[in-house]
Structure formats: C-alpha cells, structure tokens
Structure 1
Amino acid sequence: MTRKQLIFLCLKFNDVYEDYPFNKRQSDILWTTIRHKENKKIFALIFERESQLYINVKCEPQYIEEIRELKKDVFPGFHMNKSHWNTVRVNGDVSKEELAQMIKHSYSLTSIRSGRRCLAEKL
C-alpha cells in the first residue's frame, strides 16, 4: 500500500479531511493527519520514516498491549500517548483488512458519536 492509497482509505469515512499541521521546513518527516470535521480530532497520522510507511491509530487502553503482542509491526504510538495510540508499520504483518479495522476503530473512538467495540477480538 502506498501513502496515497492509505490517505484515500482514511478519507472514505464520513465528514473527515486531510490536514498537514505539523510540517515545517526543517522537518524531515511529512505528517498527514486525517481529522473529523465535527470535532477536529485526529484519528489517523500517516508518516514515512527511513523509507517505511507508518500510521498512528487510536485504540482502547485495555486492548493496546494485546494487539502489540499479536502483531510485530504494531508499536507504542510514535510521538503519541502510548497508552492510547499504536503505530502500525504499513505493508508489514498487519493485513490490509486488519489495518482497515484499526483505522475504523480509531475513527469511532475519536468521533463525537463514539461507538466503542472490541478491536482485539477481530485480530
């Protein structure tokens, strides 16, 4: 999956938009954030580091460690609250379907109409 495809996948959700709030001239990492229009909350942060594509997604704290143990390409959130966010290496051991579920879950957790569901059961 390419960066462009990943952004497109995130933009399929209702009432969201792409943003670049953290990018400065001296920054060596290009951050793409995907936010809710209703509350401006970020539910996905996409970046590349050392030629690898990553995405930060929110997760419920009670499932975060379990997911990290199940998947070697899921780490504590890079530049995020590590109790609530995971970083996923795209094109690693997390399938496209699992990644789509993680993004959907993050979208739900950050929405005003938050409908929390157990993500760990789906992996």
Structure 2
Amino acid sequence: MNIETLRTYSLNKLGATESFPFGNDTLVFKVGNKVFLLSSLDNPISFNAKCNPEKAIILRENHPEIIPGFHMNKKHWNTIYYNGNLPEKLLEEMIDDSYKLVFDSLPKALQQEIKTI
C-alpha cells in the first residue's frame, strides 16, 4: 500500500473527507467532521487508526509495526508503520474498523444524513 492507495481506499468510505489541518505532511481523513485516520506523507508511510482497545493490544502484540498511537490516545489509537510486512487485507481492515468506530459514534441524525449522500 502506498499513500495514493491509502487515500483512495479511505475516501471511498461514505462521507469521508480529507484535509491538512496539521500542516502539509499529515493527511487527515474525517467522517462527520471527526477524524478516523491520519497519515504521514513520508516513505515508508505510517498512519494512525482508531481501534477497539482489546483488539489494539492484540495487534500490537502480534505485529511490531503496530504501536500505540503517536500523539493520540494510546488506548484507542494505533500507529501502523507500513514496511511491506503487513498484509494489505489487514491494513484495509484497520482502516475499516477505524471508520466504523468513528461513524458509529456520530449522532444518529448525522449518520442518516451521511448514508443518504
């Protein structure tokens, strides 16, 4: 996965938007104005994804490329350093999980609005 693949995959989520609120080297993806993914534009890429706390621990224990979220709540966020060792399916699953956690936390009215877009 490269930054363009990550970007395309993330923007294909319902209501997903992108911006650079932290400067030109950090791409931020939001749904309902809430962050679900942050990615550095450096190579190799790394990104922060929200994660269920129990699952976050398991992922960190099984993959040295996954650490507690850098500059984030370490209980709920992971930083993933993509160096080619993690399967793309796992990367996509982490993006999907992050999006779902954030989307599900949105007010029901906003969720419905996004679903009708």
The TM-score range, normalised by the shorter chain, is 0.7 to 0.9
In 2, the alpha carbon distance for the partners of 1:87 and 1:48 equals: 14
Bigger fraction of residues in helix: 2
User: Percent identity between the aligned chains?
Assistant: 32
- 8 Å Cα contact 2:27-2:41 kept in structure 1: no
- TM-score norm. by structure 1 comes to 0.79
Correspondence 1:40-79 to 2 at 5 A: 40-49=33-42, 51-79=43-71
In 1, the alpha carbon distance for the partners of 2:77 and 2:85 equals: 18
- 8 Å Cα contact 2:36-2:98 kept in structure 1: yes
| Aligned position for 1:18 | 18
Q: How many residues align?
A: 106
Structure 1: any 5+ residue segments left out of the alignment? 25-29, 115-123
State the one-letter code of the partner of 1:60. Answer: N
SS of residue in 2 equivalent to 1:52? coil
Structure 2: any 5+ residue segments left out of the alignment? 107-117
Higher RCO, Cα 8 Å, sep 6+: 2
- TM-score norm. by structure 2 comes to 0.83
Q: Are 1:106 and 2:98 an aligned pair? A: yes
In 1, the alpha carbon distance for the partners of 2:83 and 2:11 equals: 19
In 1, the alpha carbon distance for the partners of 2:105 and 2:29 equals: 17
| Aligned position for 2:7 | 7
In 1, the alpha carbon distance for the partners of 2:75 and 2:105 equals: 22
Which consecutive aligned stretches of 4+ in structure 1 deviate over 4 angstroms post-superposition?
Answer: none
In 2, the alpha carbon distance for the partners of 1:31 and 1:103 equals: 16
SS of residue in 2 equivalent to 1:33? strand
RMSD value over aligned CA atoms? 1.6
In 2, the alpha carbon distance for the partners of 1:104 and 1:65 equals: 18
Deviation track 1:36-93 (CA, whole Å, cap 9, x = no partner) reads 0xx31111101045x3210100001122111101111101111111110001112432
